[in-house]
Structure 1
Amino acid sequence: MARENFNDLQAFVIVAREGSFTRAAAQLGVSQSALSHTIRALETRLGLRLLTRTTRSVAPTDAGDRLLSTLTPRFEEIEAELAALTELRERPAGSIRITTAEHAAHDVIWPKLAKFLPNYPDIKVEINIDNQLTDIVAERYDAGVRFGDQVAKDMVAARIGPDMKFALVGTPCYFAQYPVPQTPQDLAEHNCINIRLPTYGGLYAWEFEKDGHALKVRVEGQLIFNSAEMIMKASLAGLGLAYLPEQMLADDIAAGRLVKVLEDWYPTFPGYHLYYPSRRQSSPAFNLFVEAMRYRG
């Protein structure tokens, strides 16, 4: 295959990945008509239809899927090797894309990142807050951050935070209206603020443990959020009980704005870990980022 045809293959990968000629053309910096011509020329040379086009979307054919699965890891390896060339620069440089849960972004990653970035002005970090377990390879993230027990075994993982406990809290005003629960089963009589987690297929079942006995309780209430910050705000407003990471609630508990209940039922969760594929070619910028995030105990 002629050397210039590798550009056509890269164009095909981007169109297939984006599912849109418009978005792919914008990413490549070419016109949509020029990109369509490139793909048609590639299909003609191969004698195969690679993409199925409709008025609303673009999707790979069977042949296109096969070619995409072959090309994608190879282009990723090339991109990683090019990024590794930053070792030849005086200052580490590059872009790092991270997907993480909301609490980890606010309380674990951000304090360390705020100290890290001023020392490395050529390193760019993109953080996407998402409560579901994103496929970091398919979505082209450099790394993800989740609890240690949520990290797949084939990933390299670095602990970035201590083990955690959740706390069940409400305001003094709330407990002036409702009796303090004595067991997790008592939560059936309370207005509980739910969180919706796509990974769990719906509402999160609150997890408790005592004397080696684990218990999951599905609670009810007037409010459902997909944001821990909003759950905390609602609880502080006296609108119900919240079950959130204790670290997130520490200031309000210490100030008496929130009261902990069922304290002997809190399980310990593995701390947050930053994880990435074992086959990833690490750049100096990425290595520095991992070390800056690493939990020191």
Structure 2
Amino acid sequence: MKRDELGDLAAFLMVAEERSFTRAAAQLGTSQSSLSHTVRRLEERMGVRLLTRTTRNVSPTEAGEQLVETLRPAFNDIRGRIDALSAMRQKPAGTIRITSSRHAAETILMPVAKRLMAEYPDISIEISIEQRLIDLVAERYDAGVRLGERVEKDMVAVKIGPELRMVVAGSPDYFKRHPKPVTPHDLTHHTCINLRLPTLGGLYAWEFEKDGRPLNVRVDGQFICNDVPMIIDAAISGLGLTCLPDDHLGPLVQEGKLTAVLEDWSTPFPGYHLYYPSRRLASPAFALLVDALRYR
């Protein structure tokens, strides 16, 4: 494609979007007559009428609409990339929207966000607490925070926390009334607290592994909940055993409020990751956040 042909296409798109040669000419910094000549030249070259002109209105023909649908995303992408390059020369500013689970937001995201916003007053950060996995592009989020194993393969994933382990634990009072399980199979004789998953609504099957052999166990009990803090409170109260990541339960085990069991059946898995679309062009503000969150 010749250079002037690309310019003609850009001129046509501006007229089609503005529905006016006068407004389009003002946007492009050219004269109305010159712009009209440019569009006419494009129509002659393509051999099809692209615009319907009246004394009061300009609108795309059917062929013109098809061309607009082809050009608009391409030119929007070009504009976005140019804007991103321009932004690299400017100071970090703008709003970053992130979706995250509550625990990750409280323990990892917020400490970094507070520090970043204090250091860069022109940066704003919006955090939306969600348990479900959402479409970042469709819901206009810049990034999300989730466990590494839940991040889709077409996303860029940046590790922002250490590996985690699942911990089975109960209160000292519970173990006064029940013997400690030795293997996951013993859980069928225990009262367990079930976690209702936020995505599909099913119950979480407790996951174990030993000597490379995975084992999933469906547990039973009186209490089911989809809120982790409430499950932890129920476990501390002696309502049953719980199975959650060690970043939730580890401090409580150290404090003696809970007792961990089946530790030899627990293997590491990927911890929290910041993820975002691979096609995303990083603004200076977003690049700062990624670097500040990166786990080292």
CA distance in 1, matches of 2:154, 2:176: 50
Cα 1:5–1:227 change in 2 (3 A) is: farther
Aligned pair count reads: 244
CA distance in 2, matches of 1:289, 1:260: 35
In structure 1, the partner of 2:190 is 190
* 2:267 is equivalent to residue 267 of structure 1: yes
How far residue 116 of structure 1 moved from its aligned partner, in angstroms, is 2.3
How far residue 224 of structure 1 moved from its aligned partner, in angstroms, is 2.2
How far residue 114 of structure 1 moved from its aligned partner, in angstroms, is 2.7
How far residue 214 of structure 1 moved from its aligned partner, in angstroms, is 0.4
Residues 128-181 of structure 1: per-residue CA shift (max 9 Å, x gap): 222222221222211122222222222222111111112111111111122211
CA distance in 2, matches of 1:92, 1:198: 35
CA distance in 1, matches of 2:264, 2:82: 51
Q: Do the aligned partners of 1:166 and 1:244 also contact (CA within 8 Å) in 2?
A: yes
- Deviant stretches of 4+, over 3 Å: 1-8, 44-47, 69-89, 198-201
Corresponding letter in the other structure for 2:179 = P
How far residue 119 of structure 1 moved from its aligned partner, in angstroms, is 0.8
Q: Do the aligned partners of 1:80 and 1:283 also contact (CA within 8 Å) in 2?
A: no
* 2:165 is equivalent to residue 132 of structure 1: no
CA distance in 1, matches of 2:101, 2:163: 16
CA distance in 2, matches of 1:76, 1:223: 51
CA distance in 1, matches of 2:113, 2:122: 14
In structure 2, the partner of 1:217 is 217
Corresponding letter in the other structure for 1:258 = L
In structure 1, the partner of 2:114 is 114
In structure 2, the partner of 1:87 is 88
Residues 112-121 or 280-289, more deviating: 112-121
Cα 1:72–1:191 change in 2 (3 A) is: farther
CA distance in 2, matches of 1:222, 1:78: 57
Corresponding letter in the other structure for 1:228 = V
Residues 270-279 or 219-228, more deviating: 219-228
Q: Do the aligned partners of 1:102 and 1:228 also contact (CA within 8 Å) in 2?
A: no
In structure 2, the partner of 1:38 is none
Cα 1:218–1:71 change in 2 (3 A) is: farther
- The structure having more radius of gyration, on CA atoms, is 2
In structure 1, the partner of 2:169 is 169
Q: Do the aligned partners of 1:209 and 1:266 also contact (CA within 8 Å) in 2?
A: yes
How far residue 223 of structure 1 moved from its aligned partner, in angstroms, is 2.1
Corresponding letter in the other structure for 1:220 = D
Residues 55-111 of structure 1: per-residue CA shift (max 9 Å, x gap): xxxxxxxx9xxx6x996787577567546544343x310111112223322222223
**Structure 1, unpaired ranges of 5+:** 9-43, 48-62
Percent identical pairs in the alignment equals: 49
Q: Tell me the TM-score normalized by structure 2.
A: 0.72
CA distance in 2, matches of 1:139, 1:229: 27
Q: Do the aligned partners of 1:107 and 1:248 also contact (CA within 8 Å) in 2?
A: no
Q: Tell me the TM-score normalized by structure 1.
A: 0.72
* 2:249 is equivalent to residue 253 of structure 1: no
In structure 2, the partner of 1:102 is 102
Cα 1:45–1:271 change in 2 (3 A) is: same
Q: Do the aligned partners of 1:159 and 1:272 also contact (CA within 8 Å) in 2?
A: yes
Corresponding letter in the other structure for 1:202 = G
In structure 1, the partner of 2:29 is none
Corresponding letter in the other structure for 1:113 = A
How far residue 260 of structure 1 moved from its aligned partner, in angstroms, is 0.3
Cα 1:107–1:72 change in 2 (3 A) is: farther
CA distance in 1, matches of 2:223, 2:173: 18
Residues 255-277 of structure 1: per-residue CA shift (max 9 Å, x gap): 11110011111121112211111
In structure 2, the partner of 1:178 is 178
Q: Do the aligned partners of 1:171 and 1:236 also contact (CA within 8 Å) in 2?
A: yes
The 5-angstrom pairing of residues 7-86 of structure 1 reads: 78=79, 82=83, 85-86=86-87
Cα 1:76–1:102 change in 2 (3 A) is: farther
CA distance in 2, matches of 1:70, 1:253: 60
CA distance in 2, matches of 1:46, 1:223: 63
CA distance in 2, matches of 1:280, 1:194: 38
CA distance in 2, matches of 1:270, 1:131: 18
Cα 1:5–1:122 change in 2 (3 A) is: farther
Corresponding letter in the other structure for 1:253 = V
How far residue 222 of structure 1 moved from its aligned partner, in angstroms, is 2.2
**Structure 2, unpaired ranges of 5+:** 1-11, 20-58
Q: Do the aligned partners of 2:198 and 2:226 also contact (CA within 8 Å) in 1?
A: no
Taking only aligned residues, the RMSD between alpha carbons, in angstroms, comes to 3.0
